[in-house]
Chain A
Amino acid sequence: MIFRENGQYAATYAKDMRIFRLREDRVAVAVLLVVAFVVVPLVANDYWLSSIFTLFLIFSLAALGLNLLTGYCGQLSLGHAAFMAVGAYAAFNFAVRLETPVLFNFIGAGLVTAAAGFVFALPSLRIKGFYLAVTTLSAQFFIEWLFVSFSWFSAGSMMGAIDTPPMRILGWAVETPRDKYLLTLGVVTVLALLAKNLTRGEIGRSWMAIRDLDVAAEIMGVRLFPYKLLAFAVSSFYAGVAGALYAFCYLGSVEVTAFELALSFRLLGMVIIGGLGTIMGSFLGAGFIVLLPIFISITVAAFATRGLTDFLSNLELIVFGGLIIFFLIVEPYGLARLWHTTKEKLRLWPFPY
């Protein structure tokens, strides 16, 4: 019995409806936030901040967006990398053409992407499941094609590449890896809380009803079309903001290939492995897909000896693919479920049940 949850009574509705109803959860979240906002920036070096944590947060946000669509509303998308590109290019255009404030650019990027997502969502009422997934590939290829074909989107760059201007928020120049990490963390925290709330309310419940069985949901009075469109729009909004962060806080100069099809598949992988229909799963999944190959690569690099390197590079792929299959077999509902089970176990420990 590591911790107990009994004895915590909610005396008012407001208390009962809090995001984190249990004291333990509140403490855990508070500790996590303190660690993320204070301890990590103080302790971590550039390597961890800029190439691990920032990347992890950005992909978590993109995965979170996709999870709202796939995990909560049950609609598949293989075009989310392209939606990230829309966000990045939109934020760039706001920044260079209109010179608007940074945070406004990010929100604007999200809104523009939401509009793009809305358009590509229109077939979703007729087309379902994997059929829909494959049609969203048209978004992926069309958007890539668009940005390479018309240099207007990159303000006249000959390669369709964008160079993000320096950022300044109310006198805070966002320059060092630490600044960029903190900015990313701030945006991700706010949006993650928003998402958590969204999924607990009417919208989230309607989405879940659609996911579980759309015909049944319709009979119960959930209007499918507006809710599906909304799911695509909100999900694209998240992807757009993530794309803008990816360009501004991580890459600096970007060409369209940074948002290629493979990234769309990686995002889907994050959502499935992390846990469909969980906010936390998006983070765990991003950790798995982004960080695991890096850890494998570091491990493998240690054994690199002459003549073996080719094999070891391929071993990375084999191990990564094998681990994906392994985790799906041991826990098909994702890493978030694993965490849930661990909590159950700890509650009863040391008794098995």
Chain B
Amino acid sequence: MIRALHMRLLYSLALLPSALLLALAGSAVAVDVQDDEQFVPILIYRTGPFAAGGSGIMGGFEDYMSLLNERDGGLDGVKLVWEECETAYNTDRGIECYERLKNKGKYGAPVMHPLSTGITYALIERATRDKIPIVSLGYGRTDATDGTVFPYIFPLITNYWSQSTAKIRYIASREGGEDKLKGLKIVNLHLKHPYGIETIPILDVMAEKFGFEVTHLPVPWPGIDQKSLWLLIKRIKPDWVINRNWGVSCTVPLREAARIGFSREKILGVWWCGSEEDVVPAGKAAIGYISTNFHGVGRDFPVIQDILEHVYGKMMGNISSTRVGSVYYNRGIIFGIVTMEAMRLAHTKYGNRPIGGQEMQWALENLDITESRIEEIGATGLISPLKTSWRDHEGGGKVLIQQWNGTKWVRISDWIEPYADLVRDMIKKSAAKYAKDKGITPRTKPEEGI
């Protein structure tokens, strides 16, 4: 007995400090950033139910930076370096990653992409205090579009409410005009989850404006069993179903729809339900399914061809090459383009050197990615033009519609404008509530740079 105790102690006591030592050694040899290098933090999740999204998007982002390093020798001559931190899609791990990476490099982290709505929420206060912009591209907090209340939060390109209005515009175009919306039945199949319920108010507002009938059907988390909802849908007989889910709950509706014979072409997914990973598990049931997106799909863009040549050609790819051109991957390229364009803008004001958080905030508020600039990047059709201001942190990006043909996503629409005025009012109201709860006085003018 005594001996056994002895051994147990020995094991455990030896293990604990060695784990600590290993960790310390680890932190010592982690990516070393030189003073003249631009550091970019990467928050990523490669495990868990949403791993496909995390690894795909950040893989694309890293590849875009590799492209600039390999082809152009960095961004305006400044070499890009980055460090990954695994958040496991877990809020407190995300905060730890943020705190771990925020002071790297001479000027600190210029920007953070939290890649999870929960982490975005938890970083709002911290990032505003630390003056590090949070870019939540296509996710995160919709009312943060109001730059007067959220100076450091950027839900760039397009937020969920804009997207929802664009969906209705698309449905109108398919039905033959806005007046045809009257009397239409639309089901909003949404995850019973903060992310899922966010678009209920905007859909209600539009239902009233255009006279269609919207039924909100909540999918109980985690959404692996949606049978009762599809029985309800069968009963309601809607004209359209909006699929607002995430992860596996995006896939389940497709099979259920096939079973009750509901046309997949009338299921319109949110862009987080529009990747290869969402439809492949549904097999044939997914053919014809359409979803929104805010960027192009496939490999037929000069910038992606360049990546294949300069990055994968040198065996420098950050992800399995089969995923290049997939939806999540291309989304990562968009993350890269937007971030790098903002940095380029900051270079024009502060010189060609690494950029810090405050400088980046100025750049993100004055971003203007024009059609001709997009062509220079080699991303025509991949990304829509974008122009932000200190009030508008979204940039008025547009949405497109894509359809799954059984092997790949095919773009089937032009860029679609959201109903910006509708969204604007609601954002103002929601942001005002935030300002009141937090005791914040909204800005009345942009900050004077540094």
Interface residues of A (CB under 8 A from B): 46-47, 50-52, 55, 96, 144-145, 148-149, 155-166, 175, 250-258, 262, 290, 292-304, 306, 309-310, 313-314, 316-317, 326-327, 330-331, 338, 341-342, 345, 352-353
Verify if B450 is at the interface (C-beta below 8 Å from A): no
Instruction: Choose among A96, A310, A352, A353 the residue with the greatest number of B CB atoms under 10 Å from its CB.
Output: A310
CB of B83 within 8 A of CB of A159, answer no
Contact string against A for B residues 333-356, beta-carbon threshold 8 Å, 1 for contact and 0 otherwise: 000000000000000000000000
Instruction: Report how far A304 CA is from B157 CA in the complex, Å.
Output: 32
Instruction: Report how far A309 CA is from B317 CA in the complex, Å.
Output: 12
Among the listed A255, A310, A338, which residue makes an inter-chain contact with B46, where contact means beta carbons less than 8 Å apart?
Answer: A310
Q: How far in angstroms is the closest Cβ of chain A from B77?
A: 24
4 tightest Cβ-Cβ pairs between the two chains A and B: A252-B125, A302-B26, A313-B46, A299-B26
Q: What would 12 A/B residue contacts be, using CB atoms closer than 8 Å?
A: A47-B99, A47-B100, A148-B193, A251-B121, A255-B194, A256-B193, A296-B19, A298-B100, A299-B26, A306-B318, A313-B46, A317-B47
Given A52-B96, A301-B85, A353 and B2 contact (CB-CB distance below 8 Å) = yes
Among the listed B9, B47, B83, which residue makes an inter-chain contact with A316, where contact means beta carbons less than 8 Å apart?
Answer: B47
CB of B91 within 8 A of CB of A313, answer no
Residue of B nearest to A297 (CB): B86
Q: Write out the residue numbers on chain B whose beta carbons fall within 8 Å of the beta carbon of A254.
A: 121-122
Given A148-B192, A148-B194, A330 and B11 contact (CB-CB distance below 8 Å) = yes
Q: How far in angstroms is the closest Cβ of chain B from A177?
A: 9
CB of B193 within 8 A of CB of A316, answer no
Verify if B35 is at the interface (C-beta below 8 Å from A): no
Verify if B198 is at the interface (C-beta below 8 Å from A): yes
Interface residues of B (CB under 8 A from A): 2, 5-6, 8-9, 11-13, 15, 19-20, 22-23, 25-30, 45-47, 55, 83-86, 88, 90-93, 95-96, 98-100, 103, 117-118, 121-122, 124-126, 129, 141, 192-195, 197-198, 200-201, 218, 220-221, 316-318, 430, 433-434, 437-439
Instruction: Report how far A144 CA is from B218 CA in the complex, Å.
Output: 13
Q: How far in angstroms is the closest Cβ of chain A from B340?
A: 20
Q: How far in angstroms is the closest Cβ of chain B from A294?
A: 6
Q: Write out the residue numbers on chain B whose beta carbons fall within 8 Å of the beta carbon of A166.
A: 438-439
Q: How far in angstroms is the closest Cβ of chain A from B115?
A: 14
CB of B23 within 8 A of CB of A299, answer yes
Would you call the interface of chain A mostly helix, strand, loop, or mixed?
A: helix
Residue of A nearest to B91 (CB): A258
CB of A257 within 8 A of CB of B125, answer no
CB of A51 within 8 A of CB of B26, answer no
Q: Write out the residue numbers on chain B whose beta carbons fall within 8 Å of the beta carbon of A331.
A: 8, 12
CB of B193 within 8 A of CB of A158, answer no
Q: How far in angstroms is the closest Cβ of chain B from A308?
A: 11
Instruction: Report how far A299 CA is from B117 CA in the complex, Å.
Output: 27
Q: Write out the residue numbers on chain A whose beta carbons fall within 8 Å of the beta carbon of B5.
A: 341
Among the listed B46, B55, B433, which residue makes an inter-chain contact with A156, where contact means beta carbons less than 8 Å apart?
Answer: B433
Q: Write out the residue numbers on chain B whose beta carbons fall within 8 Å of the beta carbon of A262.
A: 90
CB of B121 within 8 A of CB of A161, answer yes
CB of A258 within 8 A of CB of B122, answer yes
CB of B27 within 8 A of CB of A163, answer no
Q: Write out the residue numbers on chain A whose beta carbons fall within 8 Å of the beta carbon of B26.
A: 298-303
Q: How far in angstroms is the closest Cβ of chain A from B311?
A: 11
Given A165-B439, A295-B19, A299-B22, A158 and B121 contact (CB-CB distance below 8 Å) = no
Q: Write out the residue numbers on chain B whose beta carbons fall within 8 Å of the beta carbon of A255.
A: 117-118, 121, 194
CB of B193 within 8 A of CB of A257, answer yes
CB of A158 within 8 A of CB of B197, answer yes
CB of B12 within 8 A of CB of A258, answer no
Would you call the interface of chain B mostly helix, strand, loop, or mixed?
A: helix
Given A50-B99, A304-B84, A330 and B12 contact (CB-CB distance below 8 Å) = yes
Instruction: Report how far A345 CA is from B437 CA in the complex, Å.
Output: 55
CB of A163 within 8 A of CB of B23, answer no
Given A252-B126, A313-B47, A330 and B8 contact (CB-CB distance below 8 Å) = yes
CB of B95 within 8 A of CB of A256, answer no
Instruction: Report how far A326 CA is from B11 CA in the complex, Å.
Output: 10
CB of A145 within 8 A of CB of B437, answer no
Q: Write out the residue numbers on chain B whose beta carbons fall within 8 Å of the beta carbon of A252.
A: 121-122, 124-126
Residue of A nearest to B315 (CB): A306
Q: Write out the residue numbers on chain A whose beta carbons fall within 8 Å of the beta carbon of B201.
A: 158
CB of A309 within 8 A of CB of B84, answer yes
Q: Write out the residue numbers on chain B whose beta carbons fall within 8 Å of the beta carbon of A96.
A: 437
Residue of A nearest to B23 (CB): A295
Q: Write out the residue numbers on chain B whose beta carbons fall within 8 Å of the beta carbon of A251.
A: 91, 95, 121-122
Instruction: Report how far A319 CA is from B90 CA in the complex, Å.
Output: 18
Residue of A nearest to B98 (CB): A51
CB of A163 within 8 A of CB of B437, answer yes
Among the listed A253, A258, A296, A302, which residue makes an inter-chain contact with B29, where contact means beta carbons less than 8 Å apart?
Answer: A302
Among the listed A164, A257, A294, A302, which residue makes an inter-chain contact with B96, where contact means beta carbons less than 8 Å apart?
Answer: A294
Q: How far in angstroms is the closest Cβ of chain A from B422?
A: 15
Given A310-B55, A316-B86, A342 and B20 contact (CB-CB distance below 8 Å) = no
Instruction: Report how far A252 CA is from B434 CA in the complex, Å.
Output: 12
Instruction: Report how far A314 CA is from B117 CA in the complex, Å.
Output: 23
Q: Write out the residue numbers on chain A whose beta carbons fall within 8 Å of the beta carbon of B141.
A: 159, 253
Q: How far in angstroms is the closest Cβ of chain A from B3?
A: 9
Residue of B nearest to A46 (CB): B99
Instruction: Report how far A352 CA is from B23 CA in the complex, Å.
Output: 32
Instruction: Report how far A44 CA is from B317 CA in the complex, Å.
Output: 38
CB of A253 within 8 A of CB of B27, answer no
CB of B30 within 8 A of CB of A158, answer no
Q: How far in angstroms is the closest Cβ of chain A from B384?
A: 26
Residue of B nearest to A251 (CB): B122
CB of A159 within 8 A of CB of B197, answer yes
Instruction: Choose among B92, B129, B195 the residue with the greatest number of A CB atoms under 10 Å from its CB.
Output: B92
Q: Write out the residue numbers on chain A whose beta carbons fall within 8 Å of the beta carbon of B12.
A: 327, 330-331, 338
Residue of B nearest to A319 (CB): B19
Q: Write out the residue numbers on chain A whose beta carbons fall within 8 Å of the beta carbon of B15.
A: 326
Instruction: Report how far A157 CA is from B434 CA in the complex, Å.
Output: 9
Q: Write out the residue numbers on chain A whose beta carbons fall within 8 Å of the beta carbon of B28.
A: 302
Given A299-B22, A314-B47, A155 and B86 contact (CB-CB distance below 8 Å) = no
Q: Write out the residue numbers on chain B whose beta carbons fall within 8 Å of the beta carbon of A293.
A: 88, 93
Instruction: Report how far A262 CA is from B86 CA in the complex, Å.
Output: 17
Q: Write out the residue numbers on chain A whose beta carbons fall within 8 Å of the beta carbon of B25.
A: 299, 302
Residue of A nearest to B130 (CB): A46
Q: Write out the residue numbers on chain B whose beta carbons fall within 8 Å of the beta carbon of A145.
A: 192, 220
Instruction: Report how far A252 CA is from B193 CA in the complex, Å.
Output: 19
CB of A159 within 8 A of CB of B96, answer no
Q: Write out the residue numbers on chain B whose beta carbons fall within 8 Å of the beta carbon of A310.
A: 46, 55
Given A298-B26, A304-B84, A158 and B20 contact (CB-CB distance below 8 Å) = no
Q: How far in angstroms is the closest Cβ of chain A from B321?
A: 11
Q: How far in angstroms is the closest Cβ of chain B from A250?
A: 7
CB of B95 within 8 A of CB of A253, answer no
Q: Write out the residue numbers on chain B whose beta carbons fall within 8 Å of the beta carbon of A144.
A: 221
Instruction: Choose among A155, A296, A298 the residue with the greatest number of B CB atoms under 10 Å from its CB.
Output: A298
Instruction: Report how far A262 CA is from B45 CA in the complex, Å.
Output: 16
CB of B438 within 8 A of CB of A159, answer no
Instruction: Choose among B84, B195, B200, B218 the residue with the greatest number of A CB atoms under 10 Å from its CB.
Output: B84
Among the listed B46, B121, B439, which residue makes an inter-chain contact with A309, where contact means beta carbons less than 8 Å apart?
Answer: B46
